[in-house]
Amino acid sequence: MKKKTVVTEKMRQTIRKVAMQAGRIQMKGLGKRHKIHFKGEINLVTEVDFACEKAILKEIHKNFPEHAILAEESGQSANRSDYCWVIDPLDGTTNFAHAYPLFCISVALAYRGEPVLGVVYEPNLGEFFFAEKGKGSFLNGRRIHVSDTTLLKRSLLSTGFAYNIGETYKRSLAQFEGFLVSSQAIRRDGVAAVDLAYVAAGRFDGFWEINLWPWDVAAGLLLVKEAGGQVTLFNGKPFAIEDKEILASNGRIHPDMVKVLHGAGS
């Protein structure tokens, strides 16, 4: 019996289509007044988040009604399936709400819990990051690879601070301080999916953050791995999209990043 294909061309076409649709919605709304709601003290959501997610879900339901879905705003669907679409309709909502032009759409298709397709689309620059398990990572159709930096002191790193920073600031600041003195520089852009895509493209050498969600990391995880990088927990153990801490790098500086995090009490 012929083995069933895990990823089909229809899946590839759908993930590309929904990302581009959401990107157009975001750019149309950029710089306008928004209806802002708060899911936490500083965790906001706009009507554009909902509009993007609605458009994405409509297309997935039309093409794959049997698939499960895990989306940031609507949560987990009731479907039981080997396939699950993991969706962040607008990563970087705070940036978007302030008309700061760095945000994205992140969509992954997981098969039995492991991402097999991933897209991060940053519409401000028109950068479309795409990865398929076993086939590599690409930026606008061109294959990308992680950096070849070997020294942490020559590395450009990225991080983010969780929405519950009031509860985690001591740990976060200890980590930040550790890397501040051991790396070349640190950036904090507020879009985890883009940070991971930038590691895959060799722009960042490493990234770490706590308290992210599956929709923040599922596509980026695949991008980094398929670009030749490494993704683990802070202690170097295997990472799964449900985990609440992530360390991603080009692999070459990974052991040194683990040491810094250990020294910061992680």
Domains of the chain from N-terminus onward: 9-143 (3.30.540.10), 152-263 (3.40.190.80)
pLDDT of residue 41: 55
Q: Which two tokens stand for residue 17?
A: 């289509």
Residues in a beta bridge with 187? 158
Residue the block writes with tokens 């795409």: 130
Q: Give the predicted TM-score (pTM) of the model.
A: 0.93
Cα distance between residue 214 and residue 256, in whole Å = 26
- Residue 265: band (very low, low, confident or very high) from pLDDT cuts 50, 70, 90: confident
Most confident of 71-85, 162-176, 250-264: 250-264
SS3 96: helix
pLDDT at position 80 is: 87
Strands of 83-91's sheet in order across = 75-76, 68-71, 83-91, 104-111, 114-122, 127-132, 136-139, 142-144
State how far the alpha carbon of 83 is from the alpha carbons of 6, 67, 114, 198, 241, in Å: 9, 5, 9, 26, 14
- Measure the CA angle with vertex 195, ends 189 and 199; round to 5°: 140
Residue 4 has pLDDT above 70, yes or no: no
Position 1 scores a pLDDT of 42
Whether pLDDT at 81 is above 80: yes
